[in-house]
Structure 1
Amino acid sequence: MNMRDIPFCITEWDSVEATEHKGTTGTAYWRTRTFGPPENPIRVRMVSYSPGYAADHWCRKGHILLCLDGELHTTLSDGRSFTLKPGMSYQVADNAEAHQSATRTGARLFLVD
């Protein structure tokens, strides 16, 4: 990640419009900002998963993800499984390990990718 051409700014996340993304079950709501030049965009998101959310795809995008609230269960394509609770994070590179997320209770996350 090359962070350049990003002036100092503050994000008031509650004022960023949420977009809805249906899972196999449940819904994800993304509040998204993009920073940097078009050839090297950095996406920053506040994501809320409804209780019972399960992703409808295996993600291969790299992320830095911080769990703020709730509990997030992430399964890797090799079968390993991890549970994140508030204050825990994971990091994964683009195309490194496909991952899929779900939550029974709901979760709120902060992501940079």
Structure 2
Amino acid sequence: MKIQNVPFCTIEWDTIKPTTHPGVTGEAYWRTFEMGNIRVRMVEYTPGYFADHWCDRGHVLYVMEGELVTELEDGREFILKPGTSYQVADGIDPHRSHTEKGAKLFIVD
């Protein structure tokens, strides 16, 4: 990831209104900041959330709270707990996530 056209800035996450993104089950609430060529998000998944699509966008994802299961299209699954991250490039290893307990994430893409 090469960050371009982003001057130094801070984000007060509580001032960013969340948007709702329904899954097959449950919901995701995104607080999103976009500048230059990056998108930075605080995402909360409700308990029982299951993504409604396979994603092939690159991310750096960090689990702040809860537990997240990320499934790759090839069938592999990874359980991520607080303090765990994953990184994946654009167009590699399509993935989707779900959570039984709920999760709070920090994502840069």
TM-score bucket (shorter structure): over 0.9
TM-score by structure 2 length?
Answer: 0.97
Provide the C-alpha distance between the structure 2 equivalents of 1:86 and 1:16, rounded to a whole number of angstroms. Answer: 23
After TM superposition, what 4+ stretches of structure 1 lie above 2 angstroms from structure 2? none
1:38-63 Cα distance to aligned partner (Å, 9 max, x none): xxx20000000000000000111110
Cα distance in 1, alignment partners of residues 44 and 15 from structure 2 = 15
Structure 1 segment 1-113 matched on structure 2, within 5 A? 1-36=1-36, 41-113=37-109
- Per-residue CA deviations over 1:51-104 (Å, capped at 9, x if unaligned) read 000000011111000000000001101110000000000000111001010000
Cα deviation for residue 2 of structure 1 reads 2.2
Report SS of the residue matched to 1:74.
strand
Aligned residues: 109
Cα RMSD, aligned residues only: 0.7
Aligned-partner Cα distance in 2 for 1:4–1:93: 17
Identity %: 59
Provide the secondary structure at the position in 1 that maps to 2:51.
coil
Unmatched tracts of structure 2, length 5 or more: none
Give 3-state SS (helix, strand or coil) of 1:11's partner: coil
What is the rounded CA distance, in whole Å, between the counterparts of 2:93 and 2:71 in structure 1? 10
